[in-house]
Amino acid sequence: MRRVLGLIAAEAVKYWAEIKSYLFNTLSWLVALYIIFLTFFLGLRHFAGPSVDGTKLDSIIVGYVTWMFALMGFQGISYGVVEETHKGTFEQLYLSPLGLETIFAVRILYEFLYSLVFNSAILLLTMVTTGRWLSLGLPGFLKLFLLLTLSLPSLWGLGYLFGGLAMLSKKMGAFLQVVSFLLIGLVALPGYPFKPVSLLPFTAGASSLRVLVCSSGSQTFPLLWYLFLLALSSFYILIGLWLYRLCERVARRRNLLGQY
C-alpha cells in the first residue's frame, strides 16, 4: 500500500507538470470541442426548427458531455500505451515493480478527475450558449455521479484491451481514432430499460444518464440496475485486463514492448 501511495504522489507530480506544460494545447482542445458541439447543436436546431423540443436539446447536451467522458475513459489507457511508446518511456514504466496495470489504474483516476473538471467546463459553456440549463438538484446530481462512476469503468476495460493491442501493432494508433468515434454509437444507443444492447460497454450507463437528465433528476433506478452496471463494468475490466496481459506476454515474447 505504501508503494501505491508513492506512485499516486508521483503521478500527481507528473500530471500537474504536464498540465502546466500543455496548457495551451488543453485550452485549444477545449475551444475545439466547444465549437464542434456548437456547430452540431445550432445546426440541429436550425434544420429541425420548432419541432425540436427542450427534452431533445437536453438530451443532446448530456449526450455530448457523456461522449466526452467516454472518450477520456477509453483513451486514458489505450492512447496512454501509444503515447508512452512514442515518447520512448514505455519500457521504463514497465520496469516498475508495481506493474503497468497499477500505473494505468492510477492514471485513470487522475484522468477521471480531470475529465470531471474539463467536461464541467464544456457543459457550462454549452449551457450558457444554448440557454438551456440542466437542473438536477442535489439528489439528481448524486445519482448522475453514481451512474457515471459505476458505468465508466467498462470503458477502462476496453481501454486495457486496446492498450494491449497497441503494444502488438504499430497501426493501432490510427485505429484508435476510429474506435473513439465508434464510442458515439455506444453512448447514443438506447440501453435503458434493459435491452440486449445494454450489455455493450457503457451503453446502459450512458442511456441512464440521458434519462436522468431529461427527467430533471427525478428518474429513479432500482438497486438491481445499479448492481447490473457494476457487474457489467467489472466484467469488462476483467476481460480487458486478461486480454491486456495476453497481449503483453506476446509482446514480451516477440520483443515488441516499447517498439514503435
Partner 1 sequence: MDERENGEMESGRAIVDVRSLTKVYRGRKGPLTALKDLSFQGRRGEVLGILGPNGSGKTTTIKSIATLIEFDAGEVSVMGVDVKKQPRKARSYLGAVLEGARNVYWRLTPWENLLYFAGLRGLTPGEIRERARGLLDSLGLSEVSHKQVRFFSKGMQQKVAVACAFITKPPVVLLDEPTLGLDVETARKMRSWILETAKEEGTFVLITSHDMRFIESVCQRVLILKEGRVLREGTPESLRNLFSRKVYRIVLEEDPQEWLLAHLQHFPSFRIERDERGGSLLFSLQDPSELYRVFALLQSASLTLRSLDILNDDFEEVFLDILKDGDALESTTARGEG
Q: Given the rule CB under 8 A, which of 16-24, 66-74, 108-116, 137-145 is the region that contacts partner 1?
A: 16-24
Per rule CB under 8 A, is residue 51 in the interface with partner 1? no
Report in angstroms how near the CB of residue 152 gets to partner 1 at its nearest.
Answer: 25
Q: Tell me which DSSP letter residue 198 carries.
A: G
Per rule CB under 8 A, is residue 164 in the interface with partner 1? no
Residues 176-195 that bind partner 1 (CB under 8 A): none
Per rule CB under 8 A, is residue 81 in the interface with partner 1? no
Joined together, the cell numbers standing for residue 11 give 503521478
Q: Which is nearer to partner 1, 167 or 209 (CB)?
A: 167
**Sign of the Cα pseudo-torsion (125, 131, 132, 133, in order):** positive
Q: Which of 97, 131, 196, 222 binds partner 1 (CB under 8 A)?
A: 97
* Alpha-carbon gap, residue 97 to 243, rounded angstroms: 20
Joined together, the cell numbers standing for residue 144 give 448522475
DSSP characters for 25-65?
A: HHHHHHHHHHHHHHHHHHHHHHHHGGGS-HHHHHHHHHHHH
Per rule CB under 8 A, is residue 246 in the interface with partner 1? no
Q: Which of 103, 165, 200, 229 binds partner 1 (CB under 8 A)?
A: 103
Q: Which is nearer to partner 1, 2 or 46 (CB)?
A: 2
Neighbouring C-beta atoms of residue 260, cutoff 10 Å:
14
Per rule CB under 8 A, is residue 10 in the interface with partner 1? yes
